[in-house]
Structure 1
Amino acid sequence: MYRPKSTIEQWRILQAVVDFGGYAQAGEALNKSQSSLNHAVAKLQHTLGVQLLQVRGRKAYLTKEGEVMLRRSRLLTQNVEELEQLAENITSGWESEIVVATETIYPKDKLYNALEQFYPQARGTRVRIEDEVLTGTKERIIDHSADLVFVGGEVPKGFPGTSLESVGFSAYCGVNHPLAERAGTDIPLDIEELTHELQIVISDTSQSPQESQGWLKAEQRWTVSTFHQAIDILRRGTGFCWIPRHIVASSNAGDELVELNLSALRNREVLINLVVPRPNQLGPGATLLRDLILQQYDE
């Protein structure tokens, strides 16, 4: 079994000498005597057989070898700090990881704003964000496989949700699709006419998908994994698809897609709710993140 020749404290002292510009300054910062720091660095160099510092005048300078070793030592001390922080988190009940499941239609700007505020207080906790589609988010609520869930539409019974915002959908086709010719007229398109067109749909990520949301009456369907894939197909003049308007706006495809002028369901709205599947077991990190998310909607 390998036994280290150097210690974390020796590397920490070397970093301080470099960062503060000398032994005297580092001694003040670490509340140690200059001679003890000098001895620690000298012993480290002797043990490794590598000269790390050169003293010119009253200031210590890194050698080329010292620059390489210093960079690697910073990773070492950072890893130790994170390891000890993790142990403290576990002891205090702070989570090592927070899982956030989001309905893929959810505009994530406010979530990202909350995460920016969360990061300085995160105490090393990792955050995993996973997109789900349709009943996939409901499944994450029911099986308790996420700490926070952004779900679109109806919330599963027994799980209270907090309403956040509505997401607007419209039906789109490519500018070269025959349906596009009708889009610019005052004559609305009867929605039943779409039953004979190719519909592009986004696959439900649930293990037991339920076709309970949206309009799915077209005789021909192509199923894709993301709205971005659907947009790429529409750009080619193939099929139509209901897409959140904010996704179209951010896709740089606005000039290549046409919103269909439908007689019904032209503007569908889906309400996004934030659900905590296990509120009595929500850890301090997830609680903080939840509160920061809700604050985004109070501003």
Structure 2
Amino acid sequence: MLSEQSLELIDLVAQLGSFTAAATHLNKVPSAVSYAIKQIEDEIGVVLFERHHRSVSLTPAGVHFVEESRELLKSIFRLKRRTLQAANGWQPSLAIALDCVVRADRVAYLIRDFYQRFDDVELKIRKENFNGVWEALVNGRCDVAIGATSTIPVGGPFLSKSMGKVVWSLVMSPAHPLAHISEPITDQALLPYPAVCLSDTSWQFVPRSFAAAPNQRQIQVPDWVQAINVLRSGLGIGWVPRHLAKSFIESGSLIEKEMVSPLPASDCALLWNSRQQSPAQQWVLEYLGDGLQLRTHWID
């Protein structure tokens, strides 16, 4: 049976072009190298080298064999390395879920710095909304979740780090009929107008939404970009994280209205599976920093 050592020997002879040179490199006698090569040729039933007076050269079959065997040697090397890495906690990929409330502009920096640090681990970024973040963590679709809101009693080996609270603003277009009401608005006053809400990405957990009032008609969209576009068009009203609505409020394309019963601020957290402590995950957790850094980079 062909061995790794056999493939390496053929590759060495092919590079040096001589049994004698290969023997010198291996601290062996030339006859031992010549005999080993002949055994390999007999095993596969193909002549790999043409013998000349003082050198050897690859036959066409030998050229093909060496090209294929070099790829095989690379695969063997990767197999050994990854097996050793797996024994030390290495994982081939790391999945991170981003809740809809976090700022998207930090993602590119995370990806850049991760790939500068790891050349053998794939980073998978997924967007989730509300309970979909918790479901992704529980079902193993992600290893780390940034910006999870509320609390679901999932149990299991999950750890968390507070990112502070997400403050919600009721916003609408300046052209919306409610925009001209000066006093604090009641829930009852919201009922005639559709509430723009994000769709919860959970398939198994009970979905959540931030409708402004019970039984209010909703316009469900996949993310805050779409939500803000719909709100600016005057098609509805909605609760938006204040840090995401701030620039639109300041520019005047959205206005914030005071409510008699405002939506409570939501706890926000970094979550991770403590059983998946790979070097890549540990690096990400250290990179994301403490609660203040998390809030500054992803919420504020």
Pairwise TM-score range, normalised by the shorter structure: 0.5 to 0.7
Q: Deviations over 1:42-88 (max 9, x none)?
A: xxxxxxxxxxxxxxxxxxxxxxxxxxxxxxxxxxxxxx999967863
Q: Deviations over 1:188-240 (max 9, x none)?
A: 11122212221111111111352455345243211111111121111221110
CA contact (8 A) 2:221 2:227 kept: yes
- Judged with a 3 Å threshold, the aligned counterparts in structure 2 of structure 1 residues 92 and 189 are, in CA distance, closer, same or farther, namely same
- TM-score relative to the length of structure 1: 0.63
Gaps of 5+ in 2: 1-72, 295-300
Three-state SS of the structure 1 residue aligned to 2:175 is coil
2:149 aligns with one of 138, 148, 152: 152
Aligned to 1:31: none
CA contact (8 A) 1:85 1:124 kept: no
> How far, CA to CA, are the matches of 2:226 and 2:107 in structure 1?
24
Amino acid at match of 1:284: P
Share of identical aligned residues, percent?
Answer: 21
1:274 aligns with one of 266, 270, 277: 270
Aligned to 2:179: 180
CA contact (8 A) 1:136 1:204 kept: yes
Aligned counterparts, 1:24-173, within 5 A: 88-93=81-86, 94-108=90-104, 113-150=109-146, 151-158=148-155, 159-173=158-172
| Structure 1 residue 257: Cα displacement | 0.8
How many residues align? The count is 218
Mark the structure with the bigger radius of gyration: 2
CA contact (8 A) 1:201 1:223 kept: yes
Three-state SS of the structure 2 residue aligned to 1:290 is helix
Amino acid at match of 2:282: T
CA contact (8 A) 2:249 2:255 kept: no
CA contact (8 A) 1:155 1:273 kept: no
Aligned counterparts, 1:220-299, within 5 A: 220-249=217-246, 254-265=251-262, 268-277=264-273, 279-295=274-290, 297=292
- TM-score relative to the length of structure 2: 0.63
CA contact (8 A) 1:82 1:124 kept: no
2:187 aligns with one of 187, 191, 205: 191
Aligned to 1:9: none
Three-state SS of the structure 2 residue aligned to 1:145 is coil
CA contact (8 A) 2:169 2:245 kept: no
Amino acid at match of 2:223: T
- Judged with a 3 Å threshold, the aligned counterparts in structure 2 of structure 1 residues 156 and 108 are, in CA distance, closer, same or farther, namely farther
Gaps of 5+ in 1: 1-79
Q: Deviations over 1:140-172 (max 9, x none)?
A: 122122110121111434233221232221111
Aligned counterparts, 1:2-21, within 5 A: none
Moved more, 196-205 or 216-225: 216-225
> How far, CA to CA, are the matches of 2:81 and 2:168 in structure 1?
46
